[in-house]
Every structure is written in structure tokens, then in C-alpha cells.
Chains A and B, each alone.
Chain A
């Protein structure tokens, strides 16, 4: 009986050691013949009209088999006028710096196609492709077909996508001032002064003001025209400006597109669709730089996120960036 238990234990240990000590020999990979390609998408976050979608397209074939003669990308929707493909292949040196090597002539874009023709004897290259998201793509999906041709007649293709293009709009670095452009329209994504605000009264959603008190922290504020007069001291609204926007104060939501800081946070369409404005007030006072506000216009047509890039107490002004979503 004792022998039986010893044997069982020994066998278990052997199985464990056998599994743990299995050694796999390294062998050099063999070079596969023919032309190959691969693509990675480099941009992160939602795809907003006006921004770019960046890809890195790699292609190679064994030196003995020939050279690359062209690389092409076809988008399902033609990109904006600035869409291009790099004609330089980059490698990263030991210091982490991207070093370019020219491989051909600058890309030519015709409709949905962007092509680079190689002029250097190149058997391997990685080219960046920058697709500027056009207005026509808003709310749609866009796909890409990357292809390369070699001198031996071989061609390869690689499909990427589909990628959703966001419906939202964006406006960066709008300066609002207590003395001048203090009337903000979400519909127009712009700031008006008292005179021009009167002409656009129905579209004014927020009033910016700066007040410095020693007994209360008021400072920089965004209030709806309908807000209690306590929250807009000294403000005489232009004729017809009376909308009642809903405002949620937010702290530390530093959207990458708006803030352009190191935080990898992105506001997407779905955030606007899901936010609940029930019970939201119509004012936000004591706002600070890197804070923000979610806003819903009085008629519910638009929802927006206003990020505060910079405040200036001396000038009584604030630099804001807006992401806006059409709800209806």
C-alpha cells in the first residue's frame, strides 16, 4: 500500500517537472517569398470631421525578387483636400527620433485614391497615410483598401475599417470676454458681443461673465440668460436674449481633442446621447481652467461640452473649446 502512494506521488512530480522543463529551441524565421503588407491605425479616439485618420502602411518583398513600384490607398469616401500619403519611409533611430528616407515622389490624390509612385530601388517601406475626414463622411462609416505593386508584377491589398465617423462638431480656442464677446451660441459655436447678440437673440444659450469678490468665489461663470439675477450681477441682457440652457459643471474631463493635453480621454457621440440633464441648473459659477460644462440648449436641439482651456483674471476672459452634438 505504502509503495502505491509513493509511486503515485513520484508520478505526479514527474509530470510537473516534465511539463515545466520543456525547452523550445529558437530558430531563425525563414523569409517568405513574395510581396507582403500590413497596416496599423495610429490615431485614437472618435473620428471627428476635420481631423485626420492616420495609418502606417508597411510593404516588403525579398530583395532578390524585385522592388516596390507603387503604393495606393482607396477610401470609400474621398478625403478632404489635404489628404495625402507620405513619400518618405520613416525608421526610428536609437534616440527614438523618426528618420525619413525618400522613396518616391509626393503622393497624388485623385477622387478616393491616393498613390505614391516609388522612384528609389526599395524592397521595404512603411508609409504614413493621412486621411482628412470630410464633411460628407459625417455620421457614416469609411473603409480603406491599401495596396502595393512590385516590379515582378505581384500586388497585395489590405483592408481597414469600417470606421464610424462621429456626428459631433468641434470648435477650438474660442475667446470669450466679460467686456466684449460674452454671449455664446451653441448653434453657431461662436461668441457675440451685446450688439450682435441682439441680432441673434434666439441662438444665445450662455453668457460669460467674470466677477471678483472677496466674500464669495464667483470668478469665471457661464450662465444661461434665464438664470437668477444673483448669478449674473451687472448684466443687462440684450433685447430678446432669454434662453434657458441646462448646465452641468464638470471637473477634470480633459478631452484630448479639446484640451490637447496628455490625458487620453475622448468625448464621443454616445456621451452626448446618454447624459441625463434632469434637474440640471442653468448656471455654473467659479469655473477654473481644465474644468468644463455639459450644456443642453433650451429646445434640446444641441448638447455640448465646453472645455475651459485657459482663464485670464486680469483680462476677464476665458479660452474655451467646444464639442457639440445635434440631438434632433
Chain B
């Protein structure tokens, strides 16, 4: 009986050690590095200071040209907007969005880089904002 008991403990411990030592690489942000090579933006949202959308219609995302075109309502406060990107699985965005973004300089559109799940593919997207014409 003692022999079985000890054997059971040893097997249990061995399995814990095996699981804990499995190799799951993570990047500097603590995010999992996977085998996925896809790298694109699937959706784009733009919220005002009141966390309501400021888009007049769905943003046009061109994954080949790597551009996002969004039209915002007349009177949108471009200095205080929250962009939201939806990315392909496992991808991440650089630089990170940590708060409000100033889009008021329309001649110098903002750019973000999408990095694939395997961290090997990087694509820079340019976000072009146009404001609904003055009535």
C-alpha cells in the first residue's frame, strides 16, 4: 500500500512539473506568441469624449493599401477621440492606445502598426479622418 501511495505522489508531482515547464513563449507585454502570421485590422471604431460613436458610417478598411478611412460628424471634437481597433486573432497594435488621441492635424494622419501573432509580420495602417461638411 505504501508503495502504491508513493508511486501516485511521484506521478502527480511529475505531471505538475511537466505542465509548468511547457514552452509557451510570451512577448514583452506578456502576450502569447503564436504561430499565426495573419496581420490586419478587421474593424475600426471612433468614440467621442462621451463614448458615443462619431462616425457617420462604417469606416472603410483597405487591408491591401493598409489604410482606414472614417468620416466623422460635423462638430466632432477631433482632439479628444478614442480609436478602437479590432485585429485578427493574436495580433497586437503598436503604439498602444492608452487614452484619448488627438486627430486634429488632418494633414498628418495617425499611423498604427499591426503585429501578427507570431510577431514576424508588421503592417503599418494609416487612419484618414474626414469631417462631414459644414451645413
* Chain A positions near chain B (C-beta within 8 angstroms): 1-2, 5, 211, 213-218, 230-231, 233, 248-251, 279-281, 283, 285-286, 291
Contact = CB atoms under 8 A, between A and B. Distances in A.
B49 A1 contact: no
13 contacts: A1-B1, A5-B5, A211-B135, A214-B135, A216-B74, A217-B73, A218-B135, A231-B75, A248-B50, A249-B49, A251-B52, A281-B79, A286-B73
B52 to A, nearest CB: 5
A218 B133 CA distance: 12
Contacts of B57: none
B51 interface: yes
Contacts of B135: 211, 213-216, 218, 233
A251 B1 contact: no
B74 A218 contact: yes
Interface residues of B, number: 19
Nearest to A212: B135
B50 A291 contact: yes
B interface secondary structure, majority: loop
Contacts, number: 53
Interface of B: 1-2, 5, 48-52, 73-75, 77, 79-80, 100, 132-135
A280 B5 CA distance: 69
Contacts of A216: 73-75, 132-135
Contact of B77 (A211, A251, A281): A281
Contacts of A2: 1
A279 B48 CA distance: 13
A249 B75 contact: no
Contact of A281 (B1, B80, B100): B80
Given A216-B74, A279-B100, 14 more contacts: A2-B1, A211-B135, A213-B135, A216-B75, A230-B134, A233-B135, A248-B50, A249-B48, A249-B50, A279-B80, A281-B77, A281-B79, A281-B80, A286-B75
Nearest to A5: B1
A119 B114 CA distance: 80
Contacts of B75: 216, 218, 230-231, 283, 285-286
Contacts of B5: 5
A50 B59 CA distance: 49
Given A5-B5, A216-B132, A251 B51 contact: yes
A239 B100 CA distance: 37
